[in-house]
Structure 1
Amino acid sequence: MGSATFIIAAAVLLAAVLLVRGSASVRASWYLRMRCRARRAGRRVALTFDDGPDPQRTPAVLDLLARQGVRATFFVVGARAEAHPELVRRMATEGHVVGNHSYTHSWRFPLRSLGRTMEELCRTGEVLHRITGRQPRLFRPPFGVTNPTIARAVRRLGLDPVGWSIRSLDTMGQSPERVAARILRRLHPGAVILLHDRCAGSERLVGLLVEGLRSRGLEPVTLPELFDIEAYEKTR
């Protein structure tokens, strides 16, 4: 291989690596500027939950949050919300913020056309509006993956995309104690913590986190409180 060919091949490989990283890294904000950390949040942090609602585990998480007087943000999957509207209604009634996490949460979501992507997001918005009476503005892409198509759909629909600054890895089957310790080691004011309300031990994990936050003088709040943004479309 000649030097010129090698340089071209290396450049193509580097470009491919950067494109993959830009798509898969939620904090890269290559295609879509994501809210991942609040810079002027004081001593506040946000607990966020993805992939629910789950009829077996979400109620226990909501019970724990209610006992602790904590409000969080739930990015729900439209199909699951449609199947369990009482849980989404409870989230809203108890002061939690509900956001859009696509309708199917399929691995194919980043591969869909613009039309199909917008259809998923709109369908989820309609489901949540029907359940809560409010149209959500906050959106978190499944798996944290973005690309030009997802970015275009989000902008056209006027959604506000949110990522995270601390990924809990609570879906890896580790104990709540180990997951909590990892999160608390990385904790910082203005943090957005990614959790899931469908995991075994979620209630225990949230309890440990709330205790750890408060012992450090940090206050768990919703994303709109952390970033001073609107959670829902304004009613006319």
Structure 2
Amino acid sequence: MLTFRNSLILYTLTLAGLASMVIYQHFSLLWPGLLTIGYAALIGYGSARVESSFFVKTVCHGPASRQQIALTFDDGPTEMTLEILAILRRHSVAATFFCIGQRVNQWPDIVRQAHAEGHIIGNHSFSHGYWFDLFSTIQFQQELQLTNQAIQTAIGRQPALFRPPYGVTTPNLAWAIRQRKLTCVGWNVRTMDTVITNETKLLARAVNALAPGTIFLFHDHVASTARMLEAFILEARNRGYEFVNLNQLLDVQPYV
């Protein structure tokens, strides 16, 4: 698997070789330049594609051997989370909520309710800021710690699962994740519910993506998600799929 560590070693050795050829064999500087551009593009790809596990190992799907799927919801809690919880409760579906720490502090009762109803609460950073990806290692450590503390205060448990905001990872974030011994969880179906406002189109996209082991990414602050969720659950079950939570799908511990 191509990772940041082995690609950096390969880049460094190749660059050293090209540099010596430039110095001693009058090779063109174009080649080291092209190599560096290519390496920068690789870094960008690895940062943006959470499923690549480029900087940190990330679990993005379950086994394809069973007709099981998992629902995950990001960016809550919000008042709309209550509507999502009501639908899940009505159909006996457990899900994972990757929560923003600031919002956990704002709506701890909603987080407590979700946990009491059998849902997993995960860490989704404290601020989910626009410039989150540019944070230092210390800032990432603080983000993870503050969110864990907020969730601990709300439900009495510290999460072991983390989902990076925007699905972007960096070396600094990877170090912070490993230091806190968190399991990084991605997805393999991004429903685009923050962009698709028509619930019929959103439902069609989600249904068409049904496959064994799928982890669906939704957001529990999106109205179109709340409007189509019940229909999606019914259709998935009609096609023989079982909804399970991430700890069962991935065989991981949800809490420390």
TM-score above 0.5, yes or no: yes
Helix, strand or coil for the counterpart of 1:27?
A: helix
1:100-125 alpha-carbon deviations (Å, 9 max, x no partner): 00000012221111111101100100
Letter in 2 for 1:164: W
- Which residue number corresponds to residue 170 of structure 1? 193
Match of 2:53 in 1: 29
Structure 2: segments with no counterpart, 5+ residues: 1-25
| Partners of 1:101 and 1:142 within 8 A in 2 | yes
- Structure-2 residue corresponding to 1:139: 162
User: Which residue of structure 1 lines up, in the alignment, with residue 8 of structure 2?
Assistant: none
Q: CA deviation at 1:174?
A: 2.7
Q: 1:61 to 1:41 in 2, by over 3 A?
A: farther
Residue number among 31, 39, 42 corresponding to 2:63 in the alignment: 39
| Structure 2 CA distance for partners of 1:12 and 1:133, relative to 1, 3 Å | same
Report the CA distance shift for 1:42/1:157 in structure 2 as closer, same or farther (over 3 A).
Answer: same
| Alpha-carbon spacing, 1:40–1:229, altered in 2? closer, same or farther (3 Å) | farther
User: For the residues of structure 2 that align with 1:222 and 1:171, how far apart are their CA atoms?
Assistant: 23
Higher relative contact order (CA 8 A, sep 6+): 1
Work out the CA distance in 2 between the residues paired with 1:172 and 1:3: 49
Contact kept, 8 Å, 1:81 with 1:127, in 2: the verdict is yes
Contact map agreement 1:41 1:227 (CA 8 A) in 2:
no
The corresponding residue for 1:227 is 250
TM-score by length of 2: 0.87
User: Identity over the aligned pairs, expressed in percent?
Assistant: 37
Structure 1-normalised TM-score? 0.94
Q: Provide the rounded CA distance (Å) in 1 between the counterparts of 2:232 and 2:71.
A: 9
The SS at the match of 1:195 is strand
1:209 corresponds to:
232
* RMSD of aligned residue pairs (Cα, Å): 1.5
| Structure-2 separation of matches of 1:8 and 1:222 | 48
CA distance in 2 between partners of 1:172 and 1:6 (Å): 41
Amino acid at match of 1:76: C
DSSP 3-state at the match of 1:193: strand
Structure 1's unaligned 5+ residue stretches are: none
Once residues 123 and 99 of structure 1 are traced to their aligned partners in structure 2, the CA distance between those partners, rounded to angstroms, is 13
* 1:96 alignment partner, one of 88, 107, 119: 119
Aligned-pair CA distance for 1:5: 3.6
Structure 1 runs (4+) deviating above 4 angstroms are none
Paired with 1:30 and 1:62, the residues of 2 have a C-alpha distance of 34
Trace 1:114-193 onto structure 2 (pairs within 5 A): 114-193=137-216
**Count of residue pairs brought into register by the alignment:** 231
Task: Tell me how far 1:200 sits from its aligned partner.
Answer: 1.6
Q: Is the 8 A contact 2:56 2:174 kept in 1?
A: yes
Cα offset for 1:17?
1.3
- Structure with greater helix share of residues: 2
Q: Deviations over 1:64-117 (max 9, x none)?
A: 001111010000000001000111001001000000000000122211111111
